[in-house]
Structure 1
Amino acid sequence: MSKQELLERIEKKRAQLIDIVAENGLSSPQAIQYSQELDLLLNSYNTKYIKKFSTQVS
């Protein structure tokens, strides 16, 4: 998956999470699931792009 594809998936999941929270509340099972999925995507992005960059700068 390219960096752009990953960013698009992150934004799509973030939008879905916002919609689910608006409909069902922050503690609903769907909101928790979407939040966990978003966390995984963000962690993947961080591992592939942010940490690599930070290491090169140091």
Structure 2
Amino acid sequence: MVHSRVSINIDSWKKVSKANKDQIFKEIHHDYAVEDNIKKPLLKKLGKMHRDWRNRLRSGF
């Protein structure tokens, strides 16, 4: 299994309104002041959830 570096680029989400993007960004980066050892796994999990959701949309599942 190949692991790739997970990056969350909220600006690339096309079907999410600007207001929702701003809210998501605020919650991730401002509201939650967590240490890096907690934040990195959380962001990876969010990235995986987004990819899984996107893949389900594309596959028609």
Name the TM-score, length of structure 1 as normaliser.
0.43
Higher-Rg structure is: 1
RCO comparison, higher one (Cα < 8 Å, 6+)? 2
Name the TM-score, length of structure 2 as normaliser.
0.42
